Amino acid sequence: MEGLPVRLDGLGPAVENLMKIGGTPGLALSAIITAAVVILVEEGKLRWDTLVRDVLPAFHPPDKTLQSQLNITDLLSHRSGMSWADNLVIGTENNILISGKDGMSHINPQSRLLSFLGQFSYDNLPPDLAGYVIEHVNDQPFSEFVQTRILDPLGLDRTFLKPPPAGTDIVTTCYNAPRGRHLTTDLWPHIFQDRNRPAIEVQAIIDLNPGLSPGGMPIVGKGAQPQLVLFHQGSLPGALCAGMVLPDLDTIVIVLSNSLALNDIPGGVGQLALEEVLAVPALHRVDFLKIARDVVTENLMWYPAITKSLDNAQKKGTSPRDLTDYVGTYWSDSRIFKTVLTLESGKLYWAFQGLQSEKFRLNHYENNSFTWLLPRDELSRLGR
- State the DSSP code for 238: T
pLDDT at residue 96, rounded to an integer: 83
What are the structural domains, with CATH classification, of the chain? Answer: 4-23+182-293 (no CATH), 29-151 (3.40.710.10), 303-381 (2.40.128.600)
Query: Residue 54: is its pLDDT beyond 90?
Result: yes
Give the count of beta carbons closer than 10 Å to the beta carbon of residue 268: 31
For 246, the 3-state DSSP assignment is strand
Q: What is the dihedral of CA 312, 315, 321, 322, to 10 degrees?
A: 60
CA-wise closest residue to 255 among 221, 320, 212, 208 = 208
Query: Residue 308: is its pLDDT beyond 90?
Result: yes
pLDDT tens digits, 128-158: 999 999 999 999 999 899 989 988 888 877 7
For 51, the 3-state DSSP assignment is strand
Query: Residue 182: is its pLDDT beyond 50?
Result: no
Average per-residue pLDDT for the chain: 77
pLDDT at residue 3, rounded to an integer: 58
pLDDT tens digits, 232-277: 776 666 566 778 888 888 888 877 776 666 765 567 788 888 888 8
Report residue 247 CA to chain centroid gap: 24
pLDDT at residue 176, rounded to an integer: 46
pLDDT tens digits, 57-106: 999 999 999 999 999 999 988 889 998 887 788 788 777 888 888 989 99
CA dist., res. 33 & res. 195, Å (int): 27
Beta strand spans in 306-375 (E): 328-331, 338-344, 347-352, 359-366, 369-371
- Contact call for residues 275 and 220 (beta carbons, < 8 A): yes
Query: Residue 339: is its pLDDT beyond 90?
Result: yes
